[in-house]
Structure 1
Amino acid sequence: MCGIFCSIFCISNQEGRNALKPHESLINRLKAANAARGPDAQNSYEVVLDPDASSSGSSNLVLDMFASELRLRGQVPIVQPHQADGNILCWNGEVFEGMDIHSRENDGVRLFKAMCLLEAPSDIPSLLGRIEGPYAFVFYHATSQSLYFARDPLGRRSLLIHRPTKKHPYLLLTSVSVGVHSAYEVEELSTDGIFCLDLANLNKSPEVGFLLASIYLELNGLHNLYAQLSKVKTTLPTEDIPQPVSLELERLPDNMVEAMDQLLFHLDRSVMLRVRDIPRGSDLPGQARLAVLFSGGIDSTMIAFLAHRHIPLDEPIDLLNVAFENPRKIQVQTEGNIGAMSKKKKQQRLKISANKGTENTSYMVPDRLTGLKEVEELRRVCPGRTWNFVEVNVRYEESRAARTGVEETMFPGRTVMDLSLAMALYFASRGVGQIRSEVDPDGFRPYESPARVMLNGLGSDELLGGYGRHRTAFGVRGWQGVIDELQLELDRIPTRNLGRDDRVISSNGKETRHPFLSLSLVAFLAQLPVHLKLDPRLEIGTGDKMLLRAAARKVGLLEASERKKRAMQFGSHSARMEAGDGERRGDLLIGGRTVTLVED
C-alpha cells in the first residue's frame, strides 16, 4: 500500500515559484495525508516543463510527484517515486497475476521497468490489461511529455482527481484528500479507462490549454479501455429446474458439485496469491503477518479458513472484531424503546446514557457474538493454528473524538452510511484491542495487531446473490430479474465503496485485500448459470449465496454455512450513535440532503 500525489500548476515566468505559495499549505497537507498510507518511505520529484522555443508563451508547467511506501513486496527497501531516464512512476498497487514476479522482487519496480521498455507509451493499456491486482498509478513519460493515470477496472484502490477550473486552474491527483476544502473539487477517478494528458502540447499555450484539460481528460480516457469486466451469464433456468433439497454434499446435483469445487479452487488460489509473500515485520517469533476483518459471517470465515492453508502453522492469524459503545442501543436495551419520546427528551436520555461511563458497558454486539462462536469452529476445523480473536472495543467518546478525522479521510464520501461503515473500518484496521486469556475465560490482555495486510470478504454478496434485493427481484420478475440485478451489482462495483474503504483503512498504514474480487474469480462466477449461485425459492440463510454455503459445508464450516447476512454497521453498532440518528436514513448527506445509495 502506498500514497500517491501529483499536481500540475501553470506558473508565469514573471511570478516564478512565488505563484505556488498560496497553494503550499494544501499541497503539504495532501502529502502528509498520503505519507500516512506509506510510513516506510516518502519522496517527491519535480519537473518543470519549459515552453518550446517557437512558443510565444510566457508561462510553464510545474509537475510535482510524491509517493509514500508501505513495503509489502520484495526484500529490499524501496523509495518512490520510481525514476529512470526522466520517466517517473507513482505506484499504489499489487500485481498478483499477469507478471512473473519473484517473492524477493518488488512489483512496482518490475512494472516500472516494463513501462520504460515499451515501444510506445500507447502500449500501456495492453500492458496493464494483462495484470490482475488492485492498483492506482500516475506515470510520466519523459520523451512524449505525457502523463498517464488510472485505477484498476474494479476500483480497488483510491485515486481522486481535481480537474482544472477557472477558479482553481490546476490538476490534482491524490490517493486521499483532506476533507472539504475551498481550493479543490475532488471526485473519484473513473475506472473506464487509462487517462492521458499531453503536457507537451498543452505547454505550448498553458494559459488557455490548461483550462481545457478537464474536457480533454473526459474524452481521452474513454478511448483507452484496458480491461472489460465479465458479463453475467444470461441463460435462463428451465421452468422445471428442481429445487435443492439440502446443501449436504451427497444430496447436491452433479452440476452444482462441480461448480462448488471450482469455486473452492478459484477462491483458494485468490487467497493464496494474497497471503503467500507478505514480508515479515520483525524477527520476533509468534508475530502475525496477516489479519482478517472478522464478523463471524460466512464470507470472513471462509477467507480465514483458506488463509490457514497458506500461512505456516506456527504463525498466528489475527481476527479483528470491532464493537462500539452505542448510547442509543444501550438506552433501548436498558430502558426500552424510546421511539415515542419527543426529540428533546431523547437527546436528554442519550446524553445521560453517554455520560454514565464505560465500566459496565457490554460490547456483546451481534458481530461479537457470532465472532466468538465462529472462532471456536475455526479452532475445531483447523487444529494447531493460533487464532488471535482481537476484541476491538470502541468507547463512545473515543469514536466521537475520531469522527472529524474519519470524515476527512473518507471524503468525498459524505453520507450517514459512509460514516458508519468508515468508523467501523477505521477502528478495526487499527487492530488495537484485547485478547481473552486462555487460562481465565473472564480475563483479558491488551493486544495490538502487528499485521499490515488484512483480508476482507467484500464482494461475495454482489457476485453470489447475498442481498435481500436479489430475493425481491426474483419475486417481481423471476430468474430474469435476478440476472439483471446481478449484472447491475457487477457494473457498479467500481463506483461504490472500495475507494472509500481503501482511504480509511490505509490511513492506519495497513492494506486490505479482497480475495472475492480477483478478476479471475469474478470472471468464473459471472459465467456460472444463475441457479447454481443462489436460489431465492429457499429460505434466507440457505438460498442466498447458496454455492458459497455449500462450499463452507464441504470444508467443515457448518455453523458458518448457516449464518444470515448482516451489514457491518449494524453488526458492530457503529450506525446511528448520536442523538437523533434513529430517524436519519443512511443515504442522507452528513448535515444535509439525500443521495442515491445501494445497500452495503
Structure 2
Amino acid sequence: MCGIFCSLHVGCCGDTDNIHGRSNDTVYHKLSERLKVANAARGPDAQGTHHVRVQRTCSQAGEAQAPFPSKTCCPVLDLEFFASELRLRGDAHILQPHQQDGNVFCWNGEVDAHENDGAKLFQSIHTLSAMDDLPCLLGRIEGPYAFVYYHAESQKLYFARDTLGRRSLLIHKPSVLNPYFLLASVSVGDDQGYVMEELSTDGIFCLDVGQLYESKEITQHFDNSLTCIPRQVDRQILTFAKLNRVNTALPPDVPPLVPSLDHAILPHDLAIAVDNLIDHLDKSVMLRVQNIPRRTSSEKGRAQVAVLFSGGIDSTMLAFLAHRHLPLDEPIDLLNVAFQNPRKIQVQTDGNIGAIPKREKKRQLKAAEISGAIKESPSYLVPDRVTGLQEVEEFRRICPGRIWNFVEVDVPYEESQAARAAVEAIMFPGRTVMDLSLAMALYFASKGVGRVRMSAAPDDYQPYTSTARVLLNGLGSDELLGGYGRHRTAYATRGWQGVIDELQLELDRIPARNLGRDDRVISSHGKETRHPFLSLTVVSFLAGLPVHLKLDPRLELGIGDKMLLRLAARKVGLLEASMRKKKAMQFGSHSARMEPGEAEKRGDLMN
C-alpha cells in the first residue's frame, strides 16, 4: 500500500522555492503540504519527493502570458511527485517515486507477491518500445492498482486506476480560483482549495504537459491537453483490460429447486459450480495472504493477516480459506467492531411503550445523554458481535491448532463522535450519511485496537492491538452473487430477466461506489485492504455463470440469496455460517443512526 500525491503548478525559473515545493502561492503551498501529510499516513515505512520542471529558455519566455508570473521571469510548470510506502512485498524498502532517465513513477498496487512490484513494473514501462503499448501492459495486471507515470521524452503524464477501482485516486482539475492540477490517494476533506473527485476507471488518462505549457494558460486549455486512452487494444487478448459481462442466458422454464443446503444430491452443473467457486476463491485468498514480510523479528508468532469479521458468510469463508494457507503457528485476527449507539440503547432499554412520539423520544434521549445515564450502561452486544462470537467457536471446532484472536473493538459513543470530523475528511469526496456510517465502522475496525477474551470467565479480557497490516474484506460477494434484497424484488417484478439486469447494474457500478472510500479509510491506519471476492479472475468466473446457479429468489432468505456461496461454505464444513442471513455492516455494528433524528436523515452530510 502506498500514498500518491502529484501536483502541477505554474512557477518561475528564478523561484528556487518551487524546486522544494515551497510555492509563493500560500494557498497552494499549504494545501500541498497537508496533502503530503495525509498521504504519508498510508505508507509509514518510507516517503520520498521528486520535482520535474518543464520550461523554455529565458530568451523564449518573454512572450509568456498570465497565469505565468511575469514577462521578466522564465515560466515553469513544476511537477511534484510524492509517494509513501507500506512495505508488504519484497525484502527491503525501495523508496518511491521511482526515477530513471527523467521518467518518474508512483505506484500503489499489487503485481507480484515475491518482490517490489512497483520497481518491477517501472522497469517494464521504461523498456516499452512506445507508450502506445502501455494499455497492453496494464491489461495483463490482475491485481488492484493506482499509478502516476511521467514520460520525460514526450512530456506526458499518465495516470489510472484498475478497472474495478480497488485503489483510490482523486483528481482536481485547474480552475480560475485554484489554477493547479492535483492527484492524490486521499484528500484532506472538504476544502476551498480544490474540487476533488474520484478518478474514473473508464480508461488510462494522459495529460500532455508539453502542450499545456505551450498553451500558456493551463486553466483554459487543460481539457484539450487531457485524453482518455481505451484499455482494450484491437486484436489484443488482454485478460484484465475490461470486466466481463453478466451471463444473459435465462434458466430453464422451471429450474430445479434446492430446498435445503443439506440436500445430498445437487444438479450436476450446480455441483460443478460449487467446486469451481471454492477453487477460485481459495486461490484468490492464497495470493493475498502468502509471503507478507515481517518488519521485525519480534513480530514472529503475531498475526500478519486480519479479517474484517462479522461472523457472516462472506468474512467467515475468507477467514477459513486464509487458515488453509497460513502457517498453523501464526494467529489470525478477527476484527469485530461494535458501537455504543445511544438511540439503540434507548430502544433496548425502554422500547416504545405507549407509542411515544418521535419528537418526545428525541428530547428524552438528549436528556439521557446529558445526565450520563447512557454512559453508565453501554451495550456492545450488537448483531455482528453475537454472530462473530458464535462463528469463532465453529472455527475452533473445525480448525484445531489455530489461534483465533477474536478482537472485540468496542467504540464508546464519545469516541466515535470525537473521530467523526477526521473520518469525514478521510472518506471525502464521499459525503453521505451512509458513507459516514460505513466509514466509521471500517475506521475503528481497521485500527484494530480492542480486547481479546482469555478464558470463559465473564471478565477475563486482555487489551489487544492487532499487528496485522493486511486486512481481508468480503466486499463484492453480494453484488456478484445476488445477496441484496433488491435482487429478490427484481425477481418478483420482472422474473429472472430482472435479476440478470440487476446483477449487471451491480457489476457496472462497483467501481464508482465503495471501493475508493474504503481504501482511503482503512489505509489511514497504515493498513492494506484486500478483496478476494473482487479478484478479476473470480469476478470473471461469477459473471459467466448462469444466473440460477448463483442465487434462487424462490427460496427463503438464508438459503436462496448467495445460494452458491452457501453451498460452498457448507461443503468446506462451515455449517453454521452457511445459514446466516445478511446484515449490512452499519446495522450489524450499530454504526448507523447514532444521533437523535438520524433515523430520518438521508443524503448529503455537507449540505
In structure 1, the residue matched to 2:46 is 41
User: 1:367-386, aligned counterparts within 5 Å?
Assistant: 367-386=384-403
1:123 maps to amino acid: D
Aligned partners of 2:242 and 2:438: how far apart in 1?
Answer: 29
Q: Deviations over 1:9-63 (max 9, x none)?
A: 1235577745444311111000000000000011110111113676743522100
Is 2:153 the counterpart of 1:153?
no
Decide which of 524, 538, 544 is 1:521's aligned counterpart.
538
In structure 1, the residue matched to 2:68 is none
In structure 2, the residue matched to 1:595 is none
Tell me the TM-score normalized by structure 2: 0.93
Q: Deviations over 1:200-253 (max 9, x none)?
A: 22211332x453213543xx2154557110000001011132212332362211
In structure 2, the residue matched to 1:72 is 88
Conserved in 1, the CA contact under 8 Å of 2:208 and 2:225? no
Q: Deviations over 1:54-79 (max 9, x none)?
A: 67435221000000000000111121
Tell me the TM-score normalized by structure 1: 0.94
In structure 1, the residue matched to 2:237 is none
Aligned partners of 1:35 and 1:305: how far apart in 2?
Answer: 33
In structure 1, the residue matched to 2:2 is 2
User: 1:89-104, aligned counterparts within 5 Å?
Assistant: 89-95=105-111, 101=112, 103=114
In structure 1, the residue matched to 2:207 is 197
Change (3 A) 1:356 1:19: same
In structure 1, the residue matched to 2:191 is 181
Decide which of 132, 146, 157 is 1:136's aligned counterpart.
146
Aligned partners of 2:79 and 2:360: how far apart in 1?
Answer: 54
Is 2:100 the counterpart of 1:84?
yes
In structure 2, the residue matched to 1:479 is 496
Q: Which runs of 5+ in 2 are unaligned?
A: 65-73, 234-240
User: 1:250-261, aligned counterparts within 5 Å?
Assistant: 250-261=264-275
In structure 2, the residue matched to 1:236 is 250
Change (3 A) 1:102 1:418: closer
User: 1:206-225, aligned counterparts within 5 Å?
Assistant: 206-207=216-217, 209-217=218-226, 220-221=227-228, 223-225=230-232
Decide which of 70, 79, 85 is 1:63's aligned counterpart.
79
Decide which of 444, 450, 464 is 2:481's aligned counterpart.
464
Aligned partners of 1:327 and 1:102: how far apart in 2?
Answer: 44
In structure 1, the residue matched to 2:11 is 11
Shift in Å, 1:579: 1.7
RMSD in angstroms over aligned alpha carbons?
Answer: 1.7
In structure 1, the residue matched to 2:282 is 268
1:419 maps to amino acid: L
Shift in Å, 1:439: 5.6
Shift in Å, 1:442: 3.1
Change (3 A) 1:529 1:549: same
In structure 1, the residue matched to 2:362 is 346
Change (3 A) 1:214 1:457: same
Shift in Å, 1:337: 2.4
Q: Deviations over 1:385-422 (max 9, x none)?
A: 10000000000000010000000000000000000100
In structure 1, the residue matched to 2:181 is 171
2:223 maps to amino acid: S
Change (3 A) 1:20 1:46: farther
- Aligned to 1:71, what secondary structure does the other structure show? coil
Q: Which runs of 5+ in 1 are unaligned?
A: 96-100, 593-600
Q: Deviations over 1:485-529 (max 9, x none)?
A: 000000000000100000000001101000000000000001101
Conserved in 1, the CA contact under 8 Å of 2:258 and 2:266? yes
Q: Deviations over 1:330-389 (max 9, x none)?
A: 011111128733536514423414623545322100000000000111111111110000
Shift in Å, 1:122: 1.8
1:36 maps to amino acid: A
Decide which of 307, 311, 318 is 1:292's aligned counterpart.
307
Is 2:516 the counterpart of 1:502?
no
Conserved in 1, the CA contact under 8 Å of 2:369 and 2:375? no
Q: Which moved more, 1:275-284 or 1:371-380?
A: 275-284
Is 2:425 the counterpart of 1:408?
yes
Change (3 A) 1:174 1:251: same
Q: Percent identity?
A: 64
- Aligned to 2:249, what secondary structure does the other structure show? coil
Q: Deviations over 1:88-131 (max 9, x none)?
A: 11111111xxxxx462x111110111111111122111101001
Is 2:528 the counterpart of 1:511?
yes
Conserved in 1, the CA contact under 8 Å of 2:54 and 2:213? yes
Aligned partners of 1:79 and 1:551: how far apart in 2?
Answer: 42
Instruction: Give the count of matched residue pairs.
Output: 581
1:180 maps to amino acid: D
- Aligned to 1:45, what secondary structure does the other structure show? strand
Q: Deviations over 1:447-498 (max 9, x none)?
A: 0000000000000000000000000000111100000000000000000010
Q: Which moved more, 1:236-245 or 1:252-261?
A: 236-245
Aligned partners of 2:192 and 2:360: how far apart in 1?
Answer: 35
- Aligned to 1:221, what secondary structure does the other structure show? strand
In structure 1, the residue matched to 2:383 is 366
- Aligned to 2:214, what secondary structure does the other structure show? coil
